Amino acid sequence: MLVILNIYAELGELDSIVEKLRKMPDVVDLYEVTGDYDIVAIVEVDSVEEFRKVIIRKLTEIKGVRGTNSFVVLHTHKREGRLIEE
């Protein structure tokens, strides 16, 4: 299961947060972005319960994370430029 995780960072903490996220095996893609969020992480887990554990145990321990907003991917139609067969 994929989850798109948008992260708000405190001023001056972006690099530190990114470094910690880079080391997390559940984070499969990681982007620094413009707009409403500072970081977008793609998290791959087996279940919603596992994602909850990732958020509660790991992400809340990272200094400088002001908040998050997450989206569970329900279905993938195209990935890495390739259509996904149904």
Q: Where are the domains of the chain?
A: 2-68
pLDDT in tens, 17-38: 999 999 999 999 999 999 999 9
5 beta partners: 41, 70
Task: Indicate the length of the chain as a whole number.
Answer: 86
Percent of the chain with pLDDT over 70: 99
Alpha-carbon gap, residue 66 to 13, rounded angstroms: 10
Q: Per-residue pLDDT averaged across 61-74, rounded?
A: 95
pTM: 0.90
pLDDT at 85 over 90: no
- Write out the two tokens for 18: 């990114």
Class of domain 2-68: alpha beta
